Structure 1
Amino acid sequence: MGIFSFAKDIGDKIFNRDDEKHQANVETNASANTTPEASEPSAQSVANLLLKRIQQQNLDIKELKVKYNGSTDTAEISGKASTQADREKAIIAIGNVQHVAKVIDNIEIEHDAPESTMYTVKSGDTLSKISAEVYGSANEYMKIFEANKPMLSDPNKIYPGQVLRIPKP
C-alpha cells in the first residue's frame, strides 16, 4: 500500500480531455454560455474507464474499486489481490494513463511476496538496457517484458515517462 507518482502528461489516452473533439465541445459550450468544464469527463466516468482498464489486464483482484479526483488527477484503488504482481500491474495499468498523476494504492494482498521496483523509462532506454542496469545482463529483458504484460504488447514499444515494474532478480 502506498502512493505512486506518474507523469500525468504522458501515457495512454483513454478519455478525451485533449483531443480535437473535446476542444470542439468546449467551444460549442462556450458559445452556448455554458462553462467549458461542463464538457470535462466526470470523475465517475474516468473512474469507470480506469476500472475497465484494470479489468482488461485479467488480474485476480476481488472487490476492486476505483475512485478518481479530477482536480488532483489522482486515482485511488482498493480490493484484494491474489498476488503482489496483480497488485503492481493494477497500479501501473492506471498510472500509465494520461491525466493520472498519482495512484493511491489500498489493495490488500492474499499471498505476500517481495515488491517489484518501479522504474520510469528515460529517453534512450530499451528493455535490454534496463535489464543490463538492473540484472547485470541485457539478455534478461524478457523478465521485464513478461512482468508488464499485457500492458506491454511488444518489448520494443516503451516510451519515456512510462512506469514499468521490475521484478526482483
Structure 2
Amino acid sequence: MGLFSFAKSIGKKLGFGDDEEPQVEALKKELDSHGLGTEGVEIEVVGNKAVLKGKVADQATLEKAIIAIGNTQGVESVETAVAVEAEADKAEKEPVLYTVKKGDNLWKIAEAQYGKGKGPKHELIFEANRPMLTHPDKIYPGQVLRIPLLEG
C-alpha cells in the first residue's frame, strides 16, 4: 500500500471542475481507456484522493494505473490497496516516479535518473509510460512519469 502525490491542477481534464471532487465514473473510464489490464481495479474517491483497490497482473500495470489516475486534474494523491498477482512481483515494490520540471525532456530525465551517458535510455521511459504518453516530446511540467529500473 502506498500514497503518491500529484499536482491537483495539472493533467488531463475529465469534465469535472477544479473545485469539484473527482468523479469515480470519469476516473474509471479514463483508466479503462488505456487498456492496461486494470479491469479488476476499483476506484474510490475521498476528497481529492483516489484510492485504487483490487488486483492487477504485474507491478508495471500497478504503476501505470497510479500515473494514469494521478495525472488527472483534480486528483491530488493516489493511494493503492492493489494486489499484484504475478509470482515474481508478489511483494509490491515502491515505484520510481519523476515529476517533470520546466525544460525537461526524456533524454535529460534518463541522464538524471540513470547517469551520465544514459540518455539513449529515454526510450525505456517513454515505453514505460505508454499509452498515457503518445509522443516522446509531449511531456509537460508537473506531469508524473514512471521510471523503470534498468535490467542488469
Q: TM-score, normalised by structure 2?
A: 0.88
Q: 1:62-141 to 2 correspondence within 5 Å?
A: 62-69=39-46, 72-111=47-86, 112=89, 114-136=93-115, 137-141=118-122
- The equivalent residue for 2:26 is 49
Whole-angstrom distance in 1 between the partners of 2:9 and 2:95: 24
Unpaired runs of 5+ residues, structure 1, are 19-36
CA contact (8 A) 2:44 2:52 kept: yes
**Is 2:1 the counterpart of 1:7?**
no
Give the CA deviation at 1:16.
Answer: 3.4
SS of equivalent to 1:61: coil
- The equivalent residue for 2:143 is 162
Percent sequence identity over aligned pairs: 46
Runs of 4+ in 1 over 4 A off after TM superposition: none
Give the CA deviation at 1:130.
Answer: 0.3
- Amino acid in structure 2 at the alignment position of 1:11: G
Of 142, 145, 153, which residue of structure 1 is paired with 2:134? Answer: 153
Q: TM-score, normalised by structure 1?
A: 0.79
Unpaired runs of 5+ residues, structure 2, are none
Larger radius of gyration: 1
